[in-house]
Amino acid sequence: MRHITVIGGGFAGLTAAITAAEAGAKVTVYEAHRTLGGRARTAPGPYRTNEGPHAVYSGGPHWTWLRQRDLLGPLAPLPPLEAARLRLRHHGVLRRTPPFAMLKLLRPRLGPAPVDTDFLSWATGIAGEEGARAAAHYAAVALFHHAPGSLSAAFVQERLRRAAKLPPEAHYPRGGWGVLIDRMAARAWNMGVRIETGARVDTLPEHTPVVVATALPAARRLLRDDSLTWPGGRTVLVDLAVRTRRGDAFAVSDLDAPGWIERFTAQDPSLAPAGEQLVQGQFPVGPGESRADGVARAEHLLDLGFPGWRERLTWRREAVADGRTGAVDLPGRSWRDRPAVDRGDGVYLVGDQVAAPGVLAEVSFTSAVTAVSLILGRPALSRMRA
């Protein structure tokens, strides 16, 4: 029986632990925090917030993997009436439909976008500059970047199509992502995985393959490898609760600048006390911008989509997520150029900023399954799990 050590008990770490245990390996997971989950933690309440807006995309390989193991659990469906309350800010006002030019970038017959060209330049040739900017800003819901138009056209276009797909790919585990993490942890326990929380690891264990499932800055320090860098987003997260009022938007996407705000109790009322609505938003900020700049943009979007929200406010929290928003690819680069999963000497790196395909949590999942297949020498394992 092979022994594998996993450092980090988030979504990627638990995926690696379960995959290895299913293949017959003995696994130990070390998590520095007292609770598992990483970015997928859900606050205990009464406002059950995630670290920024979270959804599971049904088009990814992790969806099938989670479903096969009954780990998704009950999902919170979005009522059709609420879905009709998606609003788009364009030219300073709310709209129900996107600009027509933006839709040109969603045509099924549109060929693949190039890797070596920025999205704004490529998309402008198809939809004009206004349509290209609107599309880039809409795609920011899955990018968390202040200038999505400057990123690789192939990278942004894939996320634009996934975010705008009908019927929507986004689904919501009832009770928040933390409930999904609890189910994954329970499965790991039942398969004999040893999980130690509050256990910070500063030195790599010897005589065992090691899966490092931490954020990239933490992995850089642990492995003493300054090459472990990759650009990511810097995003202001705004969470608040307001007393219920008829007519509030379900979500507001800012097509004038990157930003998204969503009322998560529209699909899952259990996330806030009765009579209150939980709203979460993400607003990417550039190098010269402050948290106050992101908050100001959030408040402007709230004014449009949630009239009278200040008088109805019952709870509020703000934070900045720096380097915790997944990888972004600049023109000329793709996921293949990111830090490699196999670091040599029995060390494997997994997470949302490494060399694995997918969108958001799919990158963590794919890299985790890849790492275990490399450790166990079973190339077919990753194909089977996908």
pLDDT interval class at 380 (50, 70, 90): very low
Q: Please, are residues 235 and 295 in contact by the beta-carbon 8 Å criterion?
A: no
Q: Superfamily for 3-74+174-230+331-385?
A: FAD/NAD(P)-binding domain (3.50.50.60)
Instruction: Pull the structure tokens for residue 250.
Output: 């379900």
Q: What is the DSSP letter of 340?
A: P
Q: To 10 degrees, what angle do helices 361-376 and 11-22 make?
A: 30
Per-residue model confidence (pLDDT) at position 239 = 96
pLDDT interval class at 51 (50, 70, 90): confident
Q: What is the DSSP letter of 259?
A: -
Give the span between the Cα atoms of 386 and 384, in whole angstroms: 5
pLDDT interval class at 381 (50, 70, 90): low
Instruction: Pull the structure tokens for residue 32.
Output: 């520095």
Give the span between the Cα atoms of 374 and 386, in whole angstroms: 15
Q: Where in the chain is the domain with CATH 3.90.660.50?
A: 232-327
Per-residue model confidence (pLDDT) at position 385 = 44
Q: What is the mean pLDDT of residues 263-267?
A: 96
- Say if residue 382's pLDDT is above 60: no
Q: What is the mean pLDDT of residues 313-318?
A: 97
Q: Give the tens place of pLDDT for each residue, 354-366.
A: 999 999 899 999 9
Residue with tokens 């059950």: 48
Length of the chain: 386
Instruction: Pull the structure tokens for residue 145.
Output: 């970047």
pLDDT interval class at 1 (50, 70, 90): low
Per-residue model confidence (pLDDT) at position 280 = 96
pLDDT interval class at 384 (50, 70, 90): very low
Q: Please, are residues 363 and 338 in contact by the beta-carbon 8 Å criterion?
A: no
222 vs 7, 48, 185, 225, CA distance in Å? 10, 31, 24, 8
Instruction: Pull the structure tokens for residue 43.
Output: 């606050």
pLDDT interval class at 240 (50, 70, 90): very high
Residue with tokens 């794919």: 366
- Mean pLDDT of all residues in the chain? 94
Class of domain 232-327: alpha beta
- Say if residue 386's pLDDT is above 90: no
Q: Where in the chain is the domain with CATH 3.50.50.60?
A: 3-74+174-230+331-385
Give the span between the Cα atoms of 138 and 87, in whole angstroms: 11
Residues 6+ apart with CB under 8 A from 250: 78, 82, 83, 84, 85, 86, 262, 263, 266
- Say if residue 378's pLDDT is above 80: no
Bridge partners (DSSP) listed for residue 261: 252, 281
360 vs 158, 254, 354, CA distance in Å? 12, 20, 11
Q: What is the mean pLDDT of residues 283-310?
A: 96
Instruction: Pull the structure tokens for residue 251.
Output: 């979500």
Q: Give the tens place of pLDDT for each residue, 7-44.
A: 999 999 999 999 999 999 999 999 999 999 998 899 98
H or E element at residue 6: strand 3-7
Residues 6+ apart with CB under 8 A from 72: 56, 63, 66, 173, 180
Q: Give the tens place of pLDDT for each residue, 166-190.
A: 888 999 999 999 999 999 999 999 9
As to burial, measured by CB atoms within 10 angstroms (0-12 exposed, 13-18 middle, 19+ buried), residue 203 is exposed
Per-residue model confidence (pLDDT) at position 45 = 82
Beta strand 232-243 with 276-284 is antiparallel
